[in-house]
Structure 1
């Protein structure tokens, strides 16, 4: 016990150490199982020692998100807006894929931390300095949504079940009623582990959609698009 106390004194607690230990623990046991008590045990301290660095569990979660965000590459210098945005978003995706719980946490936050705001500001700035009007940038950010963070949410959960038939979007008995769904579902070989559908390459699908969006944004910028002159504006 004395040796343990001595080791703790040699490596004093800090906010950074607490947060990084929490991230590593969540990676290991999952975010649902993470608790201040388990984190204290991992660090070899009493739970009350943690509260000198994080006021509560919510502040801990915010700080953990910030640690993950710190793994995102800095903005590319000298790149065109499209390349810079693409690189930034794909780097964010790598960071969040490295910590599968992080997307769930960031989507549960009621407001972004300064670190998250700084990331958002950098992405918005790439569009603005790339020649996008404030109006178009506003709609671009809506279109990107959580994809700006490298996160996507599919309409249906395609995680594999114990029965291969249960993974199909349409029950076998309903195949005749939904021929195009069945045609598309049967057009690819099905592999496990994809959130966008068994047999789909998550990274490919993410980049495919991202590139479609970026190409569309570029066309609108070149056209001088404005929401005032759009069909939405005319209908109001």
Structure 2
């Protein structure tokens, strides 16, 4: 029987993917402020110096977090638009649903990723290229492509966070003067509830679907030259 070698315990093999996944796990569970090189090294069970063989510091780790999240957004529908296989609005819908679902898993990271640059984040750049290429292939004027992307992303980040908003976020609190908000209360009472929605906020889906439909219709008007 072979004898076990005596020496230091075997350390985990580090690479950028391993670091990215560990950083995402740490940021998701404890927040972005917890992702320091010292905390990340402890999370991985290595010395902090070992991380610097793969990343330059916390700023690059943040880009890795962004990339690993963005790589989970499905852009197949957008590529089908470029290939002429489906219409632009359908491709945008597929992408938007995946984007919202992905970020709804990591709502705490939305403020971080929404403000990070895309330079140095190849998976993020590739995702944006897919959106831009689909819009261009469908005939959206080049000057309108970035406004469309920013409008969609603003809507999708907010929609992802709304999945976790309290269902009674607009309700009056005990002691409030309800006479101040009679129209708001009527609107709340009339709001449809999605019976198929099992998210913390059962009212999140209908507004998302309405907003997405409105955005897609606006983009198709750009294609048709009506705006």
| TM-score of the pair, normalised by structure 1 | 0.73
RMSD: 3.4
Name the SS for the 2:205 alignment partner.
helix
CA contact (8 A) 2:20 2:65 kept: yes
CA contact (8 A) 1:136 1:221 kept: no
1:57 to 1:139, Cα distance in 2 relative to 1, 3 A? closer
Q: Residues 149-188 of structure 1: matches in 2 within 5 Å?
A: 150-152=156-158, 159-160=165-166, 168=171, 173-188=176-191
Larger deviation, residues 98-107 vs 64-73: 98-107
The Cα shift of 1:116 comes to: 2.1
User: Which deviations, in whole Å up to 9, do the C-alpha atoms of 1:183-212 show, x marking residues without a partner?
Assistant: 112334899933xxxx52x23422321111
Once residues 32 and 150 of structure 2 are traced to their aligned partners in structure 1, the CA distance between those partners, rounded to angstroms, is: 28
Q: Residues 35-114 of structure 1: matches in 2 within 5 Å?
A: 35-76=36-77, 77=80, 78-110=85-117, 112=119, 113-114=121-122
CA contact (8 A) 1:40 1:50 kept: yes
Unaligned runs of 5+ in 2: none
Which of 127, 131, 140 is 1:123 aligned to? 131
1:203 to 1:35, Cα distance in 2 relative to 1, 3 A? farther
Unaligned runs of 5+ in 1: 227-236
State the partner residue of 2:220.
218
Once residues 6 and 98 of structure 2 are traced to their aligned partners in structure 1, the CA distance between those partners, rounded to angstroms, is: 42
Once residues 92 and 17 of structure 1 are traced to their aligned partners in structure 2, the CA distance between those partners, rounded to angstroms, is: 23
CA contact (8 A) 2:140 2:223 kept: yes
Q: Which contiguous aligned blocks of 4+ residues in structure 1 show a shift greater than 6 angstroms?
A: 189-192
The Cα shift of 1:22 comes to: 1.3
User: Which deviations, in whole Å up to 9, do the C-alpha atoms of 1:32-82 show, x marking residues without a partner?
Assistant: 333322221221111121122121111111111101111122423222111
Once residues 72 and 114 of structure 2 are traced to their aligned partners in structure 1, the CA distance between those partners, rounded to angstroms, is: 18
State the partner residue of 2:18.
17
Instruction: Identify the structure with bigger relative contact order (alpha carbons < 8 Å, sequence gap 6+).
Output: 2
| TM-score of the pair, normalised by structure 2 | 0.76
1:37 to 1:83, Cα distance in 2 relative to 1, 3 A? same
